Amino acid sequence: MRSGEAFQLRWKDFDFVTKAVRVNNPEKHGNSRIIKISDKLIAMLKALPQKSDKAFEGSVHCMRTNFGIQRKRAADELKNPRLLRISFHTFRHWKATMEYNKTKDILYVMKLLGHKSINSTLLYTQLINFEGDEYDVKVAETKEEITELLKVGFEWVGQDNNGLTYFRKRK
């Protein structure tokens, strides 16, 4: 979601049971949407103080300023000036690109981002050629092995005539 959308979130927008957050106040005339969240994010959110009905205190300006300070610190410590080019919006582009690469479903990505126009989504999904990437490859023979590989993020590639199922995951 956009940083302004995140900043507007209320505690009631989070559903820790279904592991989702509802974006009720989309920016730029976008669509409301429900976004799945991870167990790790849920744990981090539960650790925050709930002083008011707003999930995040302060202002969007303060949040962006703090992000800039932390980004500069990381760039200096890691001696990587490219980190200074990262913004909150960079993460939105990255998520859109990765989701499109994973699903090949531009309409799903459009819904995830809350766009009303497919043209907006096309600007976000950088059509990167991942063909040259290296993969870890695993072979499974049983349903249990298949289940374990899927749990740790391997994607199904195919099955041969001997009943072996092939999976891969980007390194």
pLDDT digits (tens, 9 = 90+) for 28-40: 989 999 999 999 9
pLDDT value at residue 126: 65
Q: Do 1 and 46 belong to one domain?
A: yes
Q: Do 96 and 117 belong to one domain?
A: yes
Q: Do 2 and 21 belong to one domain?
A: yes
Q: Do 81 and 67 belong to one domain?
A: yes
Minimum mean pLDDT range among 29-38, 43-52, 74-83, 151-160: 151-160
Banded pLDDT at 130 (limits 50, 70, 90): low
Q: Do 98 and 118 belong to one domain?
A: yes
Number of structural domains (the chain) is: 4
Q: Do 93 and 63 belong to one domain?
A: no
Residue the block writes with tokens 């669509």: 31
Angle of CA points 98, 9, 126, to nearest 5°: 20
Q: Do 1 and 50 belong to one domain?
A: yes
Q: Do 12 and 48 belong to one domain?
A: yes
Asked if pLDDT for residue 129 goes beyond 90, the answer is: no
Contact call for residues 1 and 41 (beta carbons, < 8 A)? no
Q: Do 163 and 150 belong to one domain?
A: yes
Banded pLDDT at 135 (limits 50, 70, 90): confident
How far apart (Å, rounded) are the C-alpha atoms in residues 4 and 60? Answer: 6
Q: Do 82 and 94 belong to one domain?
A: no
Residue type, 16: F
Enclosing domain of residue 100: 89-128
Question: In the 3-class helix/strand/coil scheme, how is 17-68 assigned residue by residue?
Answer: CCCEEEECCCCCCCCCEEEECCHHHHHHHHCCCCCCCECCCCCHHHHHHHHH
DSSP type of residue 113: H
Q: Do 81 and 103 belong to one domain?
A: no
Entry pTM: 0.67
The per-residue b/e assignment along 54-68, b for 16 or more CB within 10 angstroms, e otherwise, is ebbeeeeeebeeeee
